[in-house]
Each structure stands twice: as C-alpha cells, then as structure tokens.
Amino acid sequence: MTKRIGILTSGGDCAGLNAVIRAVTLRAHHGYGWKTVGIGYGTLGLLERPVNARELDPARLDAALAHRGGTFLGSTNRGDPFAFPMSDGSVRDRSGEVADAIAALGLDGLIGVGGDGSLAILRRLFGPTGVPFVGVPKTIDNDVANTERAVGYSTAIAIATEALDRLQPTGASHDRIMVLEVMGRDAGHIAIAAGIAGGADVVLIPEIGWRLAHVTGHIAAMRALGRRAALVVVAEAAGKSDDPPDPSGDAPDRHGMGEWLAQRLAKATGAEARATVLGHVQRGAEPTAEDRLLASALGVRAVDVLAEGKGDRMVAWWNRQVIDVPLDKVVGRSHTVDPDGTLVRTARALGICLGDAG
C-alpha cells in the first residue's frame, strides 16, 4: 500500500529548508514509492480550512530548488496552537483542530523541520494523533541539543564572515571601530565562528561574562601599538550574560546591542565607531554547499526513520554521521557555546578579546 507522509517547516526560516523538502520527497518517492504532502506555513496551514496542504511532485523538485533560500512551503514562528492569539485579543487552545487536520489528510508519518521551540510544540501536537513524527533540526542559531549542526548555520556563518571581510577595509581606511551585531538568539555560535573566520579583534557572546572595561582596555592597547581600527562582533543577546557588562546595567537584552556597544566604545576610547546590524540577511541567502549536504543527508534519514517504523525521534549530525535520537533528549535543552571548547580556545589563542579577564 502506498504511504503518504507530510512535511512542514516551522519557526524562523533559514537557508537549506528547500533542500530538506526536496530530499524528503525524493527519498520517499525513489526509496519507498511513498507520496509526500507539503503543509503550508507550518502549523498555521493545519488550522486553515480547507487545510493548506498539497501533494509534492518529485519531478518538479530539481536542483534549482536545492539552492533557493527560504522555504517554498512557508513557515511561521508565531501562533502556537496550544495558545493561539485570536483577533479579539484572547488566547485559545486550537490543538484539537490540528489533530483533526492530520486525520483528514490521512498521513502515515510526519516530518517537521524546526528549531528547539518548534520541535517541542510539534512533538506535543502530533504525539497524541498516533502519527509517527520525526524532526529535522534547522536554525541559524545552531542551538538545538544533541546535534552538532543544524541546517542554516553554515550559511549564516558564511554571511557574517563576508560582512566582516567588507567592514575591515572601510574600518581600516577611517581608523574606526566597526561593530557587527549578529543573530543567534541566546547562543553565540554565529558570533564566535564568524569572529574567528573574519579575523575579529573582539567577540562578545552570552555564554561568557564580559565587561565593557576589558573591551575598551583591549582596544586602547591595540591603538597604542598602532592598530587604530578594530573589528568587533557582538551576539544579539551578549548583554544577557550573567554579569552586567557595564556598571550602568543598561545593556539591552537583545535588540540594539550593536549600537549600544558602538556608542560606549567610542566614548571610552575616543575613536569613531559604527555599528552594523546584520539581521535577517543571515537567514535569507542561498545555502552554502555544506548546508545543502546537511539538509540532504538529514532529509533522507528522516524518511528512513519513518520507514523503520520509528517516531518521536530527531535526525542529527554527530561525529560525521547522520543518526537519530529520541526527541526527549532534545526538547527543553539547549546547545550553547562551550566556554572551554575548541572555538573559544582558538579565539583566545589568536588574541581575540572575549571581554572577560581570560
């Protein structure tokens, strides 16, 4: 009997999602003779009536799709069905409507591509339906537990590194401090990786308590030695480190970190400083080859996991292999930068100031 599996993308988009959808559809078709149903706009599509879903034609998912950014199915990082914000301002549990939609679609399995927040919601939603669910980790933040890599992270690093490559010559031409604010939610993975690759002088991440005084001291010392320009990378949530970075205690807890820092550094060092907020540019690009590879490998494995009769799992990249792990070991946990790990040690060895006393 031909099986039908569903796929949806949920949470903030990132590069590589189309490559996952393609890999799932091709594996289902060529490997098992299964049909794949694409659900529109994550869980929002399951709340629409008629349900926003359509069968995907494997013949139309060519190479052009693998390198296109975004998700052609659409996604949402709003509207948790368990606490759905209604237009009259009230909040309603609409999870029953999602279950009805899944039953109406007649699915034998579901694949959800999401970050930690989405995977937790999807698991809670789909568990009671009895339809086996497999998650595929994606997020530029790379903070999903129990996978070394999430789809979208490689592309985000590449974009942030390219931004530093462009900020360096203009900063050097004007002897300026160039501050680059990058995304990452509560994790500093993008900041530390791009900072090393792009030759930053300072990298500030939420996982390492830092002090403004240490940063200004480092830049002042550089300037005294004749290095008058500086490249600074700051993660959007760096101000949320346990120690307040500045005695004034007014560091923003996410939005505006780059501008706040540039102003403080200019005042303390007497140098000109400019801030660039990279924002959604980090999400909307063509995926790197590495992200396409990861997306393809994870997508294929997700279908295989369903074929093995398993559910409540997430496919993961671990030790150069694709594996699958119980979702129990993923939801409610977070993978942040290890303050004693290889990247932090590499940064320190290169003389990059991390804003702490180390």
Q: Is 201 a catalytic residue?
A: no
Which residues are within 8 A (CB) of 15 and not within 5 positions of it... i.e. 6 or more apart? 69, 151, 152, 155, 156, 283, 284, 285, 286, 287, 288, 291
- Among candidates 135, 137, 139, which has minimal Cα distance to 152? 139
CB 109 within 8 A of CB 306: yes
Q: Which residue is nearest to ligand F6P (CB)?
A: 183
Cα separation of 304 and 93, whole Å? 33
Q: Which residue lies nearer to ligand F6P by CB, 220 or 281?
A: 281
Q: Which residue lies nearer to ligand F6P by CB, 230 or 237?
A: 237
Q: Which residue lies nearer to ligand F6P by CB, 139 or 216?
A: 139
Q: Which residue lies nearer to ligand F6P by CB, 134 or 183?
A: 183
Q: Smallest distance from the beta carbon of 274 to ligand F6P, in angstroms?
A: 22
Q: Classify each residue of 154-193 as buried b or exposed e, where b means 16 or more C-beta atoms within 10 Å of its C-beta.
A: bbbbbbbbbbbeebbeebeeeebbbbbbbbbbbbbbbbbb
**Integer CA distances (angstroms), 162 to 80, 194, 238, 317, in order:** 35, 9, 21, 25
Q: Smallest distance from the beta carbon of 183 to ligand F6P, in angstroms?
A: 3
Q: Which residue lies nearer to ligand F6P by CB, 122 or 266?
A: 122
Among residues 13, 80, 116, 141, the one annotated as catalytic is 141
Binding residues for ligand F6P, rule: CB under 6 A, are 12, 77, 115, 139-141, 183-185, 236, 283
Q: Residue 26, SS3? A: helix
Cα separation of 50 and 55, whole Å? 14
- Among candidates 188, 112, 137, which has minimal Cα distance to 344? 188
Q: Smallest distance from the beta carbon of 126 to ligand F6P, in angstroms?
A: 21
Amino acid letter at 139? Answer: T
Q: Smallest distance from the beta carbon of 223 to ligand F6P, in angstroms?
A: 32
Q: Smallest distance from the beta carbon of 267 to ligand F6P, in angstroms?
A: 27
Catalytic positions: 141
